[in-house]
Amino acid sequence: MTLDLSHRVAIITGAGAGLGREHALLLARLGARVVVNDLGSDVHGRGSATGAAQQVVDEIVAAGGQAMAHGASVTDYEQVQAMVGEAVARWGRVDILVNNAGILRDKTFAKMSLEDFRAVLDVHLMGAVHCTKAVWDLMREQHYGRIVLTTSSSGLYGNFGQSNYGAAKMALVGLMQTLALEGEKHGIRVNCLAPSAATRMLEGLLPQQALRALSPAAVSPAVGALVGEDAPTRMILCAGAGSFEAAHVTLTRGIHLGAGADVAHILARRLGEVADRRGEMVPDAGATQIRVELAHAGLDRVEAGHE
């Protein structure tokens, strides 16, 4: 199987540098026409300039590809709508959306202001919501779409000093789970990418040898795999230093204790059994948890509204 995006139009946010830039260059090499979106702010979300996005466009065009720059802020839905409109006016469609834009405002939760918490949520979570909402109906109408949401190990597993970032990144996993279900019958596939890469966000935190191994270019093939014709859906694909893994939200077999005055005391003693991962599963939807719990209670044949 080869990846051919020659008939596809892609929007990549935060594509003026780092991961986004590499995503844009790769998708252009695969034939996609690319909207290089970048507000041009620093890692903390301050300032704006369109020069970085235009430089990436110039690289793509110089290599024989097609691209356009756009400085829409992902926090402003009207700007995002305008960006999508310009892409459609120029190329007739939007097939691929890679939500990559992000900022950092790291502090321990005790020292973090609510303003800094909201700012990170606004860019990572609501920015992805704005961009996805702006292309959703278009993708439904054309019965085709590929959407990538950028999550993080900080959201999946936690990271000291990143409660805002981790909350936003895990929220994107929840968004992906539902959008994948809702988009399936419309030909829209939605996945998450959890990258490990040496970007501006990691400067000064790792030795040079590690930073070289964690090149953003080593992550971008994961994006290619998530936006092709045969892309999966509802996958959390981890990538870094040329390695690729899948993360899952699982449900253990658990135990049934019923109802009663002593259940809290019994459960506290038996939490180790609840956490036992032997035989765990990956639910196909949130309702699966309910079905499992009813089955434990001997009610697996009971349907809603019928007994």
Give me the active site residues, please: 165
Element (H, E) at 188: strand 188-196
**Cα–Cα dist 184/157, whole Å:** 28
Q: Phi first, then psi: give them for residue 70, nearest 5 degrees.
A: -150, 135
Angle 140-143-149 from CA coordinates, rounded to 5°: 65
Report which of 97, 96, 113 is spatially closest to residue 105, judged by C-alpha positions: 113
| Beta partners for residue 149, in sequence order | 99, 192
User: 32, 96 in Cβ contact below 8 A?
Assistant: yes
**Cα–Cα dist 61/179, whole Å:** 33
Report which of 121, 82, 77 is spatially closest to residue 102, judged by C-alpha positions: 121
